[in-house]
Amino acid sequence: MAITTDYHCHTDFSSDSSTPMEEMIKRALSLGMTHLCFTEHMDFDYPVNPKDGLTFSLDTLAYRNTFLTLKEKYKEQLTLLWGVELGIQPHLNQRLEEYTSSHPFDFIIASSHLLYGEDPYYPSFFETRNEDLVYEDYFKEITDNIKAFSSFDVYGHLDYIVRYGPNKDARYSYEKYRDIFDQLLIALIERGKGLEVNTGGLKYGLRQLHPITDILKRYRSLGGEIITIGSDAHQPQNLQHEFSLAQNVLLDCGFRYHTVFQNRTSQFIPL
């Protein structure tokens, strides 16, 4: 069965997208989608780079108002969901709890976009640092975040950092960080949280999805079942990018369902 959902996309409410929300909806309809979840960026304490001025700060009320207007307009044609992609940092937990409890999100992705308070997207990040140790610190910090923060549904693009390392994913594997990944996955499962399969990394030249297949297999073998699938599209043409590949990988890993969320409640859909 073809996947008819996409649980990770951005519009011009995110500072790194210029796509009007309605353009995403029109694209979703042309693809025959049944569920589209917007997950705009909200990264508190993001260190703004003067070169591009990206803030990743969300005007949540304006986002809500536009969403509700379009949800009503398209209610006969597809299910629109109101989500957020929260940038997690250890010192923000209380602020993030307050934020998420103040707004009626359908779905919350926890994402780590920063490490040591810096964005690895900028080339200067790796200039003075060892790639292997950075990756290790990144996965350890995600594990700590999962243990300390609970207001989310899935962890997003778990190995996002490998997009930006000097060797990207060439020297990276589940085996290399096995102990950390096992702790991380067990922490997710014990708390009833899911993993996002994010196809966006393929556009960065990575060989596999986020997270890599061996992590998905391990999550399944440890009893993990909650998987959402997201393109991380910032432009309409990237909605559902490589979703048939994601579906095949998930089936190979032993998953028989993927997950949708509404009002923060999960529902399983056959793959």
Residue 41 DSSP SS3: strand
Residue of the chain from 135, 232, 236, 249 that contacts Zn ion (CB under 5 A): 232
- Give the other-Cβ count within 10 Å of 75's Cβ: 10
Closer to Zn ion at the Cβ: 80 or 109? 109
Residues between 37 and 96 that touch Zn ion (CB under 5 A) = 85
Cβ 256 to Zn ion shortest distance, Å: 26
Distance (Å, whole) CA 117 – CA 52? 17
Cβ 230 to Zn ion shortest distance, Å: 8
Cβ 12 to Zn ion shortest distance, Å: 14
Cβ 49 to Zn ion shortest distance, Å: 16
- Single out the residue of 171, 154, 133 nearest to residue 229, CA to CA: 154
Residue of the chain from 66, 111, 112, 208 that contacts Zn ion (CB under 5 A): 111
**Consecutive H or E run containing 251:** helix 243-252
Residue 260 DSSP SS3: strand
Closer to Zn ion at the Cβ: 85 or 131? 85
Report how far apart, in Å, the C-alpha atoms of 68 and of each of 72, 98, 124, 186 are: 6, 22, 41, 37
Closer to Zn ion at the Cβ: 220 or 241? 241
- The residues that touch Zn ion, with contacts defined as CB under 5 A, are 85, 111, 232
